[in-house]
Amino acid sequence: MPASADKDYRKVVNELMTLQSQRLDRDEDFCKLNAGKIPVVHPQLVKVFYCDGVWSAPVDSRQQPTPDRSRGISFDDILTLFPERAKSIALTGLPGAGKTTMSKRLCRGAKTTCFYMKFQHMNYGEERMTLRELLIDKVYPHLDKETCADIYSWIVVNQKKCIIIFDGLDQAKWKLENYPNYRSDCAKQTVSQLIGSLFAKQLLPDVRLIFTTRPHKLLTIPHCLRPDVTILLRDLTDKNMKLLFYALTELRASELWNALETSSPQVLHLCHNPLMLHIVIGVLLSAHEAGFRKNWTMTKIYSIMVENLAKSEKRRGGFNVQEMKRKLAKVAYDAVQRDSVLITTDHLQEVGLDVDTVKDLVISVAGKARSPQRLFEEGQNLFFAHESLQEFFAALHLFNISAKPDSPRLPKLVTSGRFFSQSWSLTRRFYCGLLIDSSGESANRKCFLILFER
């Protein structure tokens, strides 16, 4: 590529990076945590390995990702972990561990050209496209074809200067193929084929890749595509959790901390998970003083948060919270059944909901008192703001089925082996929590005892 052409392409790429930064800035959570008023803290990070080097489906805890205590690393070390011609680095952790926030911080802090995109926006089914269309045209549909071509041409020539960060492999509907063999970036292929070829270094072999996912999804990645380095995001340290708690609760920090420490110390333990910390604080700030004396559980906290489900200030009016919860629970359950995070207009219409109403729903989390968190991410397609919310609503649907006084029963799914798989683990916990919280009712007590016996 002539120097003059590279200079022109570099200008277009810089403009794209500015646009990408503006998109990240529109993420209110990310802005708040990086605006200077809130301390920037990170979860504990460790390199992990799988026992005996085998990433087979887990049959017991020994086959889960195992922290290597000698491999603790800092956030600033992550980008130095790429060995020569690395396939990729995986960031993994439990729901709410901070994978998405971490990936955005890496993108913003990288001293090289870094592209950020989400797998949940790449659920194109069997639609075929070129790699350029997947990475550029689809992500920035307002750009003309010539500009997209210029950007991709610059990436091809400057691969060693580029990092691509993909967030949320566990939110992709497609599965990666074993031993992909698609070496032409001009040929139209499915998303699964294109991503597989990227992971296998058959396409853009010198571009560095980072992706985030939950641990159970790592086990499904074909051996030839697995990351060279896997980093586990563990909990916040006691010091960092308390530091963030006090920063987010501001003037009421000591009052709320003491209330939790005396009435529900187990909730403070949950707060080592960054998402749970934000949710707990949101519930505390919105709860009545009497609520501090409750023995809260994770399920109870989500329940209270969802009870605060409301319309935004823009659209007040008639609103039946219980009916909305029931319908959303069915939508969420169907999505989990499909192993999908994508919710379409058709899915909403099946239960009598419309897109405009659903897009306007908000919940309260930490730091959102004046600008509440939307229940769904904005965009052409709908996704719950966090997958754990979808899983809670799915558990709520199962609970609604179980709780019928005239015929207490376990839903058919709950008695199947699939319900006890890793992908249903959080939904299963929420479901058990809902049964326990209402175990004073004989119907739910019977359901829990049956489930416990399994």
Bridge partners (DSSP) listed for residue 73: 45
For residue 384, is it within any domain? yes
Predicted local confidence at residue 292, as pLDDT: 54
CB under 8 A, 24+ apart: contacts of 436-441 = 436/297, 436/299, 437/297, 437/299, 437/300, 437/303, 438/399, 438/403, 441/403, 441/405
For residue 91, is it within any domain? yes
Residues 318 and 216 in one domain: no
Q: Is the separation of the CB atoms in 24 and 30 below 8 Å?
A: yes
**CATH code of the domain containing 146:** 3.40.50.300
Residues 218 and 341 in one domain: no
Residues 359 and 400 in one domain: yes
CA neighbor of 132 nearest in space, from 172, 184, 176: 184
CA neighbor of 181 nearest in space, from 197, 164, 159, 162: 197
Predicted local confidence at residue 157, as pLDDT: 92
Residue 81 CB neighbours (<10 A): 14
Residues 244 and 218 in one domain: no
CA angle 25, 31, 34 (to 5 degrees): 125
Considering its fold, how many domains does the chain have in total? Answer: 3
Predicted local confidence at residue 370, as pLDDT: 37
Residues 28 and 163 in one domain: yes
Predicted local confidence at residue 69, as pLDDT: 45
For residue 308, is it within any domain? no
Domain containing 388: what range? 314-453
Residues 214 and 286 in one domain: no
For residue 47, is it within any domain? yes
Residues 14 and 67 in one domain: yes
Q: Is the separation of the CB atoms in 286 and 364 below 8 Å?
A: yes
For residue 307, is it within any domain? no
Residues 323 and 292 in one domain: no
CA angle 208, 211, 217 (to 5 degrees): 140
Which of 266, 296, 326 represents a domain boundary (last residue)? Answer: 296
For residue 301, is it within any domain? no
Q: Rounded to an integer, what is the distance from CA 81 to the centroid of its chain? A: 23
Structure token pair of residue 67: 């922290």
Contacts of 8 (CB under 8 A, 6+ apart): 150
Residues 102 and 137 in one domain: yes
Residues 113 and 54 in one domain: yes
Structure token pair of residue 57: 């489906």
For residue 306, is it within any domain? no
Residues 154 and 283 in one domain: no
pTM over 0.85, yes/no = no
Residues 201 and 289 in one domain: no
DSSP 8-class letter at 178: S
Predicted local confidence at residue 7, as pLDDT: 54
Q: Is the separation of the CB atoms in 390 and 341 below 8 Å?
A: yes
For residue 64, is it within any domain? yes
- Rounded Cα gap, residues 265 and 279, in angstroms: 16
Tens digit of pLDDT per residue, the chain (454 long)? 544 445 567 788 888 888 888 777 766 555 555 555 778 899 999 988 754 344 333 334 334 555 444 467 888 888 888 765 557 899 998 888 999 999 999 998 888 899 999 998 898 888 999 999 999 999 988 889 999 999 999 999 999 999 999 999 988 888 898 877 777 888 899 999 999 999 998 999 999 999 999 887 888 888 889 898 899 999 999 999 999 999 988 888 898 898 888 877 878 888 898 888 888 888 887 765 445 555 677 788 888 878 766 655 444 455 677 888 889 999 999 988 888 877 878 888 899 887 777 766 766 555 433 345 667 665 546 777 677 888 999 999 988 887 665 555 566 776 677 777 777 888 888 888 888 777 555 555 556 555 555 5
